[in-house]
Amino acid sequence: MKRIAVYCGSASPADPVYIEAARMVGRSLAERGIGVVYGGGKLGLMGAVADAALEAGGEVIGIIPQRLVDAEVAHRGLTNLEVCETMHERKARFTELADGFVTLPGGTGTMDELWEAMSWAQLGYHADPIGLLNIAGFYDGLIDFVGHMGKVGFLRPQHQGILLVDSDLDTLLDKMANFEPTVPIVRMTREEL
């Protein structure tokens, strides 16, 4: 993987474990020679990932809508900052530029990005690995919910392995490197649907 899209929050929670983990992710990706593609912000976990990757000599590409630039939350010290018009364009650029996705803790925007990456993988818009870094058990409930979707039948058996989960970044990146894409819905037979 040459570049990974990192999805995470623009907030700075009171517990320092989240910012520390974000900095570790940015630094670790840079040390591995993996570029970071992210939302282009300077605040919260987003800023921590970007700053740590830059400090370690890594490539950091930010994709940010003009409205957020106007709100003065754009990170101006990146390798490259692309300004787009909409959140839809932003997410499409993440997919175009990255070879995989890692989701750190975040809020509704982070969930939107994660769900879209998963949905697009199911539909065949990309075949890249999607990782969820479960820092301090933040995503325990979401992991249970994804399992529940599979048990009930809303997540097909072929797609239940799309989301790769670990609490350790190195192990997660190894899982992502060994990921075998699933058969997307558009290539499934009527019987498989």
The yes-or-no verdict on residue 110 having pLDDT over 80 is yes
The yes-or-no verdict on residue 186 having pLDDT over 90 is no
pLDDT tens digits for range 60-75: 999 999 999 999 999 9
**Per CATH, the architecture of 3-187 is what?**
3-Layer(aba) Sandwich (3.40)
d(CA 188, CA 21) in angstroms, rounded, equals: 38
Place of tokens 């950091």: 60
8 A C-beta contact, residue 3 and residue 35: yes
The yes-or-no verdict on residue 192 having pLDDT over 80 is no
Q: Taking Cα atoms as reference points, which of 40, 32, 29, 31 lies closest to residue 4?
A: 29
Helix, strand or coil, per DSSP, at residue 23: helix
Domain ranges of the chain: 3-187
The yes-or-no verdict on residue 188 having pLDDT over 80 is no
Residue partners of 111: CB distance under 8 A and separation at least 6: none
For residue 39, what are the CA distances in angstroms to 12, 91, 155, 178? 15, 9, 28, 26
pLDDT tens digits for range 6-19: 999 999 999 999 99
Strand partners, 163: 130
The yes-or-no verdict on residue 58 having pLDDT over 80 is yes
Here the tokens at position 124 are 């065949």
Residue partners of 144: CB distance under 8 A and separation at least 6: none
pTM of the shown model: 0.94
The pLDDT of residue 190 is: 75
The pLDDT of residue 86 is: 96
Q: What is the DSSP letter of 35?
A: E
Here the tokens at position 20 are 């520390």
Q: Taking Cα atoms as reference points, which of 136, 117, 133, 119 lies closest to residue 17?
A: 136
Strand partners, 161: none
16, burial (CB in 10 Å: exposed 0-12, middle 13-18, buried 19+): exposed
